[in-house]
Amino acid sequence: MSVKISLHITGIVQGVGFRPHVFRLAHELGLGGSIRNDAEGVFIRLMGAQHKVDDFIEKLRSAPPPLARIDGFTLIADDGSDLDETRFVIEESQAGGEAQVVVSPDKSMCPDCLADIRNPSDRHYRYPFTNCTNCGPRYTLIKALPYDRKHTSMAHFAMCAQCEAEYKNPLDRRYHAQPVSCPNCGPKLSLTGPDGSLISSDAEFCLDECARLLKQGAIFAIKGLGGFHLVCDATHEEAVSSLRTRKVRPAKPLAVMVKDIAMARSFADGAQEEWQLLSSRERPIVIMKKAAEQHRAVPKDTQHRELAASVAPGIDRIGLFLPYTPLHALLLDSVDRPLVATSANRSGEPIIIAAVDIHQKLAGVVDFILDHDRPIVSGCDDSVVQWCAGQLQVIRLARGYAPLAMLSPKPSKSHLMAVGPQQKNTLGFGLGHNLFLSPHIGDLFSIEAEDYFIRTLESFKRLYQVEPGCVVADHHPDYAPSRFARRYAQSGDRAIELLTVQHHFAHILSVMAANSRSEPVLGFSFDGTGLGDDMSLWGGEVLLCSATHFERLGGLMPFALPGGDKASSEPWRVLLSLLAGHLSASQLQGLPCFAHLSQPMLNNHLKVIGRPGTLQSSSMGRLFDAAAALLGICQRVEFEGQAGMLLEAFAARATGPIPTLVLEDKQGQWDGAALLVSMLEQMDTLDTSPECLANAFINAIADAIAEKARHYPNLPVALSGGVFQSRTLANATAQRLSQQGLKLLPWGQVPVNDGGIALGQLWYAVHSFGQ
């Protein structure tokens, strides 16, 4: 006897080969019925013997398509009056309904497509836009749901007969791959000058000429999946230095794209987990340790070249990633050497997605542009990750991982929108049980960045038909997103509630959300800055957190920030503030780190430090900066986090015994000044190397965290904030907590820095709004 049922499935179920997978499974089991996409997911109707239906459900749940993720799986009664037990069909998609589909992130090219572009007998040979159901662009080209070609930037490319036949064949791996195309019908390359003047639109010439010019030292803007890269030969010191000069990026590390794992191993040392991350479907930039010269592996049959010294100066880490599009793979095959591939933008602005902006903004930076005519709907930068504390740590959430979708056990009472922080901004949206985190938007200090923020917000509202009943923002009233949230809540006819969440509380909430936890946790929130409830700048906080409240248990003892914002770029200012209460003016004058200050200048700074009303901070990030200044590592910060990176690189070079330093706890507050004075005494009396002292400083922070956590043995520990991007600190802290039998909550795919703030804001709203 036949049974008739319907299944409603939500999650990442569109654009990932879900329908052909179901079609093949139904045929294999001899079931009739249908499947279709709609804005809510996929809807399957089945008719057949009970044991076959049961087998179908078990196989689909346990082994969905590789790129799919099932969030909801609901059985619905079906009278089956129009079903045919002998025939299973794929129906046209339907629009309408509240969107519950999770838009898939862009995926790197699959091995099958890579084989196609390298096969001279295949019609996709050397075609830079080859893709199939298992790979290729998604988020960056979709305009609306459901995910069909007419709703993407491929809509105006009419398929040729061969592509259409593959597209319509459920047994073909290109079935309903929306960007499917070939050299006869798809996007085309073009090679132009920096002003857009056409050099060639012949695909073969464009590829070959680009490779030839790169090897000669040219700087290119190359259009990828989510935007343009600035590209040059990473072994060509003159080219890399020229790129830095033209882009006014003097010191910040540059990411390097390598041909394959073999080439990567010649530049980096890594654990097995790091190599797995590098070759994962997401193809992120992976921060790894530079290979030691004596251990450097040289690929066979490849002319070995050293990376230019200016790729990542002064630090022991390198950011590597593998080609993730056919275009990148073809170029790397041709040049057979590593390429710098950094985001094409002006400092503080979002990644550029259209050639016209390269002409207008970066014409003086690039020598040539390799463009194509497939429009990018939504920009998306490259993801940046590292492996530390025994787990994945996301530094920049973007291509491959984002949009990030999570399930919340507790549904939101209304649509929620979280506008995130001022720096490393991402946006968050809550719809029912679904929480979404946008790709990295960036620092909102320019009109262009704020425009990108608005475009991303409108894109998500359009995709998911979001009508927020609640907007969540940071406590800081002058952050651009906070100002936007106030305006948004007051606009229109509908009542929209505005919630604000303290910055460091939101950091810990993001870790709680990643672990679907609402019960109390012990949080350590360490970063550069964030407005505290007492209107000072927090950043070294110990917090007892639930999903709706927090208690500040302690943290770093506040200190003055002479010069305000200047203190973040001139670490000696913070150091002077911390040492002022412990050393006389003459003693301070004698320190090498203050040699640039005349006696009158020093006295003026000391007066500012002691003046009532001077801005106060408890920032752990600034304490790291001060330690770097004390050790003579960094006197001026060229990019955010530089002092911490240099300090960590210094610590990694430590040889010999590491002294013991202590971050003293004085009535719940850590005395950062006393720690620096101890370092100074070690330098003066024991002649301890700066490298060993840098290592001891980081160990002291880890020891202090573990000691504080020891007093709360029943609470899991959450670490969040940009300071924990220090692998040395994160590893040391995790080790100590483990030795004490304490549980460390994993970060999952949620950024540890401010990129996770919007998710923390959402988690607060889910548990607070409408309660």
Give the pLDDT confidence score for residue 85 in this predicted structure.
82
Give the pLDDT confidence score for residue 277 in this predicted structure.
98
Q: Report which of 181, 179, 69, 196 is spatially closest to residue 127, judged by C-alpha positions.
A: 181
The residue-averaged pLDDT of 105-111 equals 94
Tell me the three state secondary structure of residue 451: helix
Task: Classify residue 338 by burial, with Cβ atoms within 10 Å: 0-12, 13-18, 19+.
Answer: buried
The residue-averaged pLDDT of 286-291 equals 96
Band the pLDDT of 11: cuts 50, 70, 90. Answer: confident
The residue-averaged pLDDT of 522-547 equals 96
Are 339 and 485 contained in the same domain?
no
What's the mean per-residue pLDDT of the chain?
Answer: 93
Band the pLDDT of 97: cuts 50, 70, 90. Answer: low
Give the pLDDT confidence score for residue 751 in this predicted structure.
98
Give the pLDDT confidence score for residue 533 in this predicted structure.
93
Structure-token pair, residue 400: 């491959």
Band the pLDDT of 644: cuts 50, 70, 90. Answer: very high
The residue-averaged pLDDT of 130-143 equals 94
Are 135 and 86 contained in the same domain?
no
Of 641, 676, 698, which one is at a domain's C-terminal end? 698
Rounded Cα–Cα distance for residues 19 and 9 (Å): 11
Q: Where are the beta strands (DSSP E) in 593-723?
A: 616-617, 665-666, 669-670, 717-720
Indicate the helix (H) or strand (E) that contains 434: strand 434-437
Rounded Cα–Cα distance for residues 490 and 358 (Å): 37
Count Cβ neighbours within 10 Å for each residue of 226-244 and write b for 16 or more, e otherwise.
bbbbbbbbbbbbebbbbbb
Provide the CATH number for the domain around residue 72.
3.30.70.100
Of 60, 90, 120, which one is at a domain's C-terminal end? 90
Dihedral of the alpha carbons of 735, 738, 743, 744, in degrees to the nearest 10: 10
Tell me the three state secondary structure of residue 289: strand
Whether residue 293 has pLDDT greater than 70: no
Structure-token pair, residue 418: 């979280």
Provide the CATH number for the domain around residue 454.
3.30.420.360
Angstrom CA distances, 651 to 24, 271, 317, 728, stand at 56, 20, 13, 8
pLDDT higher for 352 or 298?
352
Model confidence pLDDT, tens digit, residues 231-279: 999 999 999 999 999 999 999 999 999 999 999 999 999 999 999 999 9
Give the pLDDT confidence score for residue 430 in this predicted structure.
95
Model confidence pLDDT, tens digit, residues 382-427: 999 999 999 999 999 999 999 999 989 998 889 999 999 999 999 9
Model confidence pLDDT, tens digit, residues 474-520: 999 999 999 999 999 998 777 899 999 999 999 999 999 999 999 99
Instruction: Please tell me the least confidently modeled range out of 145-149, 495-499, 568-572.
Output: 145-149
Is 86 contained in some domain? yes
Model confidence pLDDT, tens digit, residues 153-190: 999 999 999 999 999 998 899 988 999 999 999 999 99
Give the pLDDT confidence score for residue 37 in this predicted structure.
83
Rounded Cα–Cα distance for residues 415 and 766 (Å): 10
Rounded Cα–Cα distance for residues 446 and 423 (Å): 11
Residue 37 annotated in active site? yes
Are 20 and 161 contained in the same domain?
no
Instruction: Please tell me the least confidently modeled range out of 92-96, 188-192, 517-521, 639-643.
Output: 92-96
Is 521 contained in some domain? no
Task: Classify residue 553 by burial, with Cβ atoms within 10 Å: 0-12, 13-18, 19+.
Answer: middle
Q: Report which of 478, 479, 351 is spatially closest to residue 758, judged by C-alpha positions.
A: 479
Are 232 and 323 contained in the same domain?
yes
Whether residue 103 has pLDDT greater than 90: no
Q: Where are the beta strands (DSSP E) in 299-396?
A: 317-321, 339-343, 368-372, 384-388, 391-396
Whether residue 465 has pLDDT greater than 80: yes
Are 83 and 106 contained in the same domain?
no
Angstrom CA distances, 284 to 279, 294, 374, 383, 465, stand at 8, 27, 23, 5, 30
Is 754 contained in some domain? no
Band the pLDDT of 83: cuts 50, 70, 90. Answer: confident
Is 338 contained in some domain? yes
Provide the CATH number for the domain around residue 648.
3.30.420.40
The residue-averaged pLDDT of 135-142 equals 94
Are 170 and 265 contained in the same domain?
no
Instruction: Please tell me the least confidently modeled range out of 198-212, 386-400, 609-623.
Output: 609-623
Are 231 and 355 contained in the same domain?
yes
How many structural domains is the chain composed of? 5
Rounded Cα–Cα distance for residues 362 and 229 (Å): 11
Are 241 and 367 contained in the same domain?
yes
Task: Classify residue 629 by burial, with Cβ atoms within 10 Å: 0-12, 13-18, 19+.
Answer: buried
Structure-token pair, residue 437: 């985190």
Whether residue 295 has pLDDT greater than 60: no
Candidate list 36, 37, 494, 727, residue with the active-site label: 37
Provide the CATH number for the domain around residue 170.
3.90.870.30
The residue-averaged pLDDT of 356-375 equals 96
Candidate list 19, 265, 517, 573, residue with the active-site label: 19
The residue-averaged pLDDT of 458-469 equals 90
Out of 19-23, 302-306, 386-390, the most confident range is 386-390
Of 31, 60, 90, which one is at a domain's C-terminal end? 90
Percent of the chain topping pLDDT 90: 79
The CA angle 228-215-380, to the nearest 5 degrees, is 15
Is 440 contained in some domain? yes
Give the pLDDT confidence score for residue 636 in this predicted structure.
92
Percent of the chain topping pLDDT 70: 97
Are 689 and 606 contained in the same domain?
yes
Whether residue 771 has pLDDT greater than 80: no
Structural domain boundaries, residue 354: 204-372
Give the pLDDT confidence score for residue 602 in this predicted structure.
92
Is 450 contained in some domain? yes
Are 159 and 227 contained in the same domain?
no
Is 767 contained in some domain? no
Q: What is the pTM of this model?
A: 0.93
Rounded Cα–Cα distance for residues 250 and 233 (Å): 17
Are 225 and 363 contained in the same domain?
yes
Are 86 and 152 contained in the same domain?
no
Give the pLDDT confidence score for residue 294 in this predicted structure.
41
Is 447 contained in some domain? yes
Rounded Cα–Cα distance for residues 210 and 193 (Å): 12
